[in-house]
Chains A and B, each alone.
Chain A
């Protein structure tokens, strides 16, 4: 197609498109910019609303206070544990669910497909789920946190579609050499699936990192809570931890906002850091994910 002459209307239309996108970007980014700047500003400057774009009276004191707070380290390590162990578990189970379902020769392909997709549309709800966790003795256990969100039907379906797309010939030649299904999966299929494994791991990991509601509900022990739950306690319920109270200077009755902003920053930073690596996988994950809502 040759380039068309641009009429005023065409130019205006494209201009409006650019404008919409720029406005969207400013609205999206500004809260983050403010957050970063405020966390590096002095508490009084933030209190007096002198910070809008850049840090005012630059200081790292807020971060010093947060880092002195032992509770946040414990919570951080817990989150890392739940994220790493949880993602590995989810990945193993999702592959184990998807691979058999991708095989036409498997007698249960259809029934098990239905068995899993049914759960995407129907669920018991919050109360029976809570009672089930209680009956399984998984309240206040790390195991419970690892298990409750272990499989997501959406990612299983992505894996299944992917395995179905791999050529049957690969399997046939391996079978002739005497390999069993498990060996074929681990030695041949998985190495061919690296991009999709990377994508789904990232999605599982982000879900784990951000998970909060069931962690808050199921865990009582302070030693087990992840950082999102701690953040909710400090920021939304304004509960002062012992350590954090000690770290404040005398006369400071409440936690200055700067410290809360610093806490938000260190909770969110890992997401923002792995975010650029995620972008090439956005579309496939999002298309399936959007059916979730």
Chain B
């Protein structure tokens, strides 16, 4: 009885909080948890007419089919290469940029240049990819125009497989570097001034300070960002890929996510496509979990 009255008191006292939260709860159920439950179609031969309850269960058939898929290796290779090269070339840049910004003492210059650096982040993928496509086009594109000035032949960049990864990764770097630097700048702002003062008294120059104070202080942020990136090592956003690729360059441009879009949405192979997504998520989860264990042992940095 006592429990029941506690329940009523809670409802009475916080009535408006419950009322307020109700639409939010409904939204999360419909748009987050129902789709989460929909993941089970990866184990089915899902039929859109029969629904999840009426469809036949296949066990792990879809996953077996995935590993036998002739494109599996190509998708794995493209996804991994785009992410690994993206990290190798893209990951250090925001750190370098943040350290550079940290040295700027001219307030106005700093503010203006920082604002410029974030700008590409706020430009839509459609616009960015449209610019890339036109700048690289052989008819009147800027890049080929410059090539022609130097007497070089025009190249149809987006029709030749070997250029795709470079183009895609550079675009990502162009769009994301400034914004990613914010995180490191916040970490830099948190380094106690005394550390630098002490180092200066000891005669350490700027470069030494960077090596022995700045970078070690950034290490936890760097580790966390690497962990997060590791979790999405099998993910390359489909949105930007499908805007930029075309059948002529699937060989180097097709990744798991774009394959899910083509097979699942365009090709109606819902269950198979979902098995691909689930595979990606499981691998990502496993990697983050293991890496988190290792970093926790090494220096105590942890994601959760």
Question: What is the interface of chain A, defined by CB distance below 8 A to chain B?
Answer: 1, 4, 7, 9-10, 13-14, 16-18, 20-22, 24-25, 27-29, 31-32, 34-35, 46-49, 52, 93, 96-97, 99-101, 103, 105-108, 112, 115-116, 119, 122-132, 134, 136, 147-148, 150-151, 180-182, 185, 206, 209-213, 217, 228-229, 231-232, 235-236, 257, 260-261, 264, 267-268, 271-272, 275-276, 278-279, 282-283, 286-287, 290-291, 293
Contacts and interface: CB of A to CB of B under 8 A. Distances in A.
Contacts of B133: 235-236
Contact of B130 (A9, A124, A236): A236
Interface of B: 10, 13-21, 23-25, 27-28, 30-39, 41, 48, 96-97, 99-101, 103-104, 111, 113-120, 122-127, 129-131, 133-135, 137, 139-140, 142, 144-146, 148-149, 174, 177-180, 182-183, 185-186, 193, 197, 200, 205-207, 210, 225, 228-229, 232, 238-239, 243, 257, 260-261, 264-265, 270, 273-274, 277-278, 281
Given A100-B20, A105-B13, A181-B16, A127 B131 contact: no
A20 B205 contact: no
Interface secondary structure of A, over-half rule: helix
B28 A116 contact: yes
Contacts of A209: 124
A9 B207 CA distance: 8
Contact of A151 (B28, B137, B174): B28
B145 A49 contact: yes
B111 to A, nearest CB: 8
Contacts of B122: 206, 210, 271, 275, 278
Contacts of B35: 123-125, 128-129, 131-132
Interface secondary structure of B, over-half rule: helix
A173 B49 CA distance: 57
Nearest to A260: B134
Nearest to B106: A18
B265 A210 contact: no
A211 B126 CA distance: 9
A1 B196 CA distance: 10
B126 A217 contact: no
Given A100-B21, A236-B133, A271-B123, A29 B116 contact: yes
